Amino acid sequence: MQRLGQRVMADLRRFLYARLLAQPPAFFERRHSGELLSRFTADVPLVEFSVAQALSSYIKDGLQILALLVTCALIDAKLFLFTFVVMPATVVPVARFARSLKKVALRSQTSLGALTSLTAEQLQNLPVVQAYGGVPRALSRFDEEAGRYFGEMRRSLFLRGAFSPTVEMLGIAGVALVVMWGARAVSAEPALAGRLLSFVAASLLLYQPVKSLSGTFSQVLTGLVAAERLFALADEPAPPDEGREAEPLKQALVLEGLRATYLDGREGLRGVDLTVPAGARVALVGASGAGKTTLFSILLGFLPSSGGEVRWDGVPLRELKPSSVRAQMAWVSQEPMLFSGTVRHNLLLGRPGASDAELWEALTLAHARDFVSTLPAGLDEPVGERGSRLSGGQRQRPDTQACPGCGTQGHDLDARFCKRCGTALDWKGP
């Protein structure tokens, strides 16, 4: 059963990760990365418990309870029916406990996501926090979030601890009512005493499996809340990667009356007209917030336009497969984007299978060959998380070449679109 649970969880993690990778950047702008990570690190194990251990307990204890109930029915059908008359009275408080426990579990898991998000944010920006003397404030914010999570967990543990004894007390009260009703029947017909004792004995044997099942049930409720959070993430719509394959640009990229509106209703672009001939170099210059990033996001299929048209060699962009359009473009972001791994790993991101000679040529064109060649392992030198082992300018140079066609031969790219490249580079930059 545990092996089945691990298999289910592995498939669930992969499915959720694939769904996240399919989401546009706007999806992550509305959410904290730490909150999403908590779904993987905290929610998935809770679901795993429900699938593996809880399911095993439910099968074992459930079969015992079923067998004992059948025994009680065979001993005395009237007493058995009376038991089912008493049982609904125990359902109402149990249902109330379950609702309260689910609410507290949801709040505690949401609080854990906020705590994880805060921790990740502070650690990623630790040099800034330390440079501006923000360590005490960071600790204060952490204490606040940790205290909120502690309070929710304390309430959750209290309800979970009280749930099992409550079920046990209700069960004992039910047995007592059955005994009282049976005693009245025995006083009228003493021959029923043996059957009453047998019925009570069978009822008392229900205590252990019911206790075990009620203890597991509180854990299952927490797992169900985690499952709801995971399914909500899985149900997030992702833009389909469908359409015609985009061929390398041969004529022009044309923007006609292009408009874009953000989720909050603000206009990002208003009636933009632009023609970029194949092979031309065009620079978009404007103040911060003018819409340069928005325009590039529309070209990459990250953001839908709210009006106008984009044509790739006369074909509407919406009819083309987004991934095939992205394959024809190069993105050099203002912020260096390096992955934990080696220099080679980052260079191969845009062009898997490139030879060492092609990689060194790309580094030469980015004026990065000199510093990469001095690294102890050269191309195989680890760059650290987010390129932390490199300087600011050094991070941008491999990043500049980590896109298809940038500095590499053999990639048929007639027009390159790069967003704000080179802001942290020296005069030798490309």
CATH code where residue 125 lies: 1.20.1560.10
What pLDDT, on a 0 to 100 scale, did the predictor assign at position 405? 47
Same structural domain, 223 and 348: no
By the 8 A CB rule, do 318 and 256 touch?
A: no
Same structural domain, 382 and 340: yes
Name the residue type at position 55.
L
Is 167 inside a domain boundary? Answer: yes
Same structural domain, 276 and 346: no
By the 8 A CB rule, do 344 and 359 touch?
A: yes
pTM value surpassing 0.85? no
Model pLDDT for residues 87-132, shown as the tens digit of each residue: 666 667 777 877 888 888 888 888 888 888 888 888 888 888 888 8
Same structural domain, 61 and 159: yes
Percentage of residues of the chain with pLDDT beyond 70: 85
Is 427 inside a domain boundary? Answer: yes
Query: Does the structure show a pLDDT above 60 at 145?
Result: yes
Query: For residue 294, how many other CB atoms are within 10 A of its CB?
Result: 21
By the 8 A CB rule, do 90 and 171 touch?
A: yes
Same structural domain, 203 and 230: yes
CA neighbours within 13 Å on the CB side: how many for 307? 12
Report how many domains make up the chain.
3
CATH classification of the domain holding 338: 3.40.50.300
105: closest CA among 46, 168, 173?
A: 46
Rg of the chain (C-alpha set): 32
Is 318 inside a domain boundary? Answer: yes
Query: For residue 129, how many other CB atoms are within 10 A of its CB?
Result: 16
Model pLDDT for residues 43-102, shown as the tens digit of each residue: 888 887 777 767 777 788 888 888 888 888 888 787 777 776 666 666 677 778 778 888
Is 19 inside a domain boundary? Answer: yes
Model pLDDT for residues 248-295, shown as the tens digit of each residue: 888 999 999 999 887 777 888 888 899 999 888 888 888 877 888 888
Same structural domain, 193 and 315: no
Query: For residue 105, how many other CB atoms are within 10 A of its CB?
Result: 27
Domain that holds residue 422: 330-430
Query: For residue 300, how many other CB atoms are within 10 A of its CB?
Result: 18
Same structural domain, 218 and 152: yes
By the 8 A CB rule, do 399 and 333 touch?
A: yes
Confidence band, pLDDT 50/70/90 cuts, at residue 312: very high
Same structural domain, 379 and 297: no
Same structural domain, 312 and 371: no
